[in-house]
Structure 1
Amino acid sequence: MMADAYLYDGDRTVRFHGGRSRPPDGRGVMIAKEGIEGWLSTPPIKTELVERAWGNGAHDVPADGISYSARTVTIHIDLVGTLRSELQALARQVNSMSGRMLRLRVADEGEDTYVECYLRSEYGSDWSRQLLSGTLTFVCPRPERLAWEAQTGQIVAPEATPGGLSYGDGGRGLAYPLDYGVQSADQSRLLLRNAGTTCAYPVLTANGDWPDGLLFMWGKGGGLEWRGRVSPGVPLVLDCRSQTAMMGGVDVSRGLVRRGFPQIEPGGDIMLRLLSAGGGWVDVLTCDTYI
């Protein structure tokens, strides 16, 4: 077992040690030899076939008609200590994360991904002083696994910065390095990639002053447009997975006049272009996405 797992609840973290990362004193939460189940597998398929009344087989299923259920992940663990009280403390540390949404991360050599989930714990009946075995079951409403290291970038209105980004009257350029995803003088566009195995959905956050809303174009004619006023201090968040627009915690999706939300095919990329005039910028976040 080479993978390590981490469970996050806000600022609190529980680490599940794999075979190569056991703590020096040998005490802690270890991944048992049974390992982790349901992490690399695809979740159960929700699509139901309709058998043909005549002829062989079932009716054809379009690609967009194939969907998956929630993901269930099982981690077999060993709580290791020198006193029974230490095992109880480790169990309490894990159980204290029950009843809330968590992030479960698995760092498995070349792949470091996470899911949003909630927890159910179950421990065996062995009352050893040094070892307590258990099983942790994580239910993930969203079945996709997301890369722990997100890709981030920033685009600005094309009229705002002709010839590239510049800060100050002297036009001396950026004071610190930023990664905009594509090497281009035109900072009104951004190249987004997805090295995963299923579609990735960016999150676009518009900051600053946009008097007439925002218009994005991507791919071969895909368009996303929100009409309205975006004021400084109250960003507009466009979530391409839920296909919603939020501002100040309020759903403002009614302002969407074009709903071509960008999505990045597995192993592919898209060029996202901002066509609106304004005095602000758009932060873009996307993750390699796996099923």
Structure 2
Amino acid sequence: MSDVTLTANGASVILHGDGEYQGPGIALTGIAGWYATPDPKITVTSRGQGDGGHDIAASDILYSARVVTISYRVLAGDRHEALDLLAQLDRAVHGLVTCRVTDQGQDTQCVGGYYSRSLEQKIQNPLWQNLSGDITLVFERPERLSVNGYTVQISAMHVAGGNVGLKYGDNRRNGLKYPLNYGLTLDGVGSNVALLTNSGSSRAYPTFVVHGPMDGVRLDFPGTQQSIVCGQTVRDVPLVLDCRSRTAELGGQDVSRQLSQRGFPTIPPGGSIRVVLSSLGNGFVDCTAHDTYM
């Protein structure tokens, strides 16, 4: 069985999934709702005449929050140690919880959940305390994301200066001079094109973090007829473009009003998208995607 790590309010606690774990610590005895899909939330309309209901679109197939139930057992040598371990678990109250499950090479997490816990005291012994119960976590964002995301950096092209544009001859003769020089260069060995992949089973929502200096940004996604265009000037504080919330954020402030094109893409399961940084500047963009599972 897998190990489970709960993180909230700056503290983490591990529930050990090894069936031979003897403590002292917290043993994981079961987990439900992690590999199952959440309940669907689909609105259907029955046919007034005819069998069944009206057809639904694939875009209407959505899911409710993910509810994860984790069964645990506290293994402690005395009452004081047992209560201390319970207190470690309860540091998740009043906080947003991240649940990470490592299982046979798959390392995924759900973020932004809330926590509650039940307790049943099965054995009370002066030499050994064995307390057990269930932890319930509710994640309004139901997707499971790979812990290690895939990040690639693309650089903006900029005009190098000097002899740029069309040239109609030199000092010796007139005519169009080849090759044409538009003066566009990249710093270092970077590229303004990237490929983002998703090896999961559900659509992934990439994020783009724009670092200046750039006077606005344009990201194109060839083959999708989608583009993100934001007129926000970026200097020392990065601009975050979130495809799940379809928003632009700068220094914690929503600047989505600066978006003139909102073609936020998703990455299909087992698929990929290309990203092209089409705007000029001296900055760069960090593009991040996670394998996503429902």
Above 0.5 in TM-score?
yes
1:226 paired with 2:223, answer no
State the match for 1:279 in structure 2: 282
State the match for 2:18 in structure 1: 19
Aligned length: 266
Mapped to 2, the partners of 1:29 and 1:90 lie a distance apart of 7
User: 1:88: Cα distance to partner?
Assistant: 1.1
Contact 2:41-2:63 within 8 A present in 1 as well: yes
Residue 28 (structure 2) aligned to one of 21, 28, 31: 31
Residue 115 (structure 2) aligned to one of 119, 143, 159: 119
Amino acid at match of 1:122: S
Contact 1:190-1:273 within 8 A present in 2 as well: yes
Mapped to 1, the partners of 2:220 and 2:202 lie a distance apart of 22
Residue 47 (structure 1) aligned to one of 38, 42, 48: 42
User: 1:163: Cα distance to partner?
Assistant: 6.8
Mapped to 2, the partners of 1:56 and 1:84 lie a distance apart of 63
Mapped to 2, the partners of 1:96 and 1:206 lie a distance apart of 35
Mapped to 2, the partners of 1:40 and 1:286 lie a distance apart of 21
1:141 paired with 2:144, answer no
User: 1:248: Cα distance to partner?
Assistant: 1.6
Mapped to 2, the partners of 1:262 and 1:190 lie a distance apart of 14
Amino acid at match of 1:54: Q
> What are the ranges of 5 or more consecutive residues in structure 2 without an aligned counterpart?
161-183
Mapped to 1, the partners of 2:193 and 2:19 lie a distance apart of 43
Which has the higher mean CA deviation after the structures are superposed, 11-20 or 278-287? 11-20
User: 1:126: Cα distance to partner?
Assistant: 2.5
Q: What are the residue-to-residue correspondences of 1:46-125 with 2, within 5 Å? A: 46-116=41-111, 117-125=113-121
Residue 236 (structure 1) aligned to one of 239, 255, 273: 239
Work out the percentage of aligned pairs sharing the same amino acid.
Answer: 38
What do residues 236-274 of structure 1 show as CA deviations (whole Å, max 9, x unaligned)? Answer: 110010000011211110111111112100000011111
Residue 268 (structure 1) aligned to one of 271, 274, 281: 271
Largest Rg, 1 or 2: 2
TM-score, length-scaled by structure 1: 0.87
Contact 1:4-1:21 within 8 A present in 2 as well: no
TM-score, length-scaled by structure 2: 0.86
Mapped to 2, the partners of 1:157 and 1:83 lie a distance apart of 61
Higher strand share: 2
CA RMSD of aligned residues (A): 1.7
1:158 paired with 2:162, answer no
State the match for 2:130 in structure 1: 131
Distance 1:251 1:134, change over 3 A: same
Mapped to 1, the partners of 2:213 and 2:158 lie a distance apart of 13
Mapped to 2, the partners of 1:202 and 1:219 lie a distance apart of 15
Contact 2:3-2:17 within 8 A present in 1 as well: yes
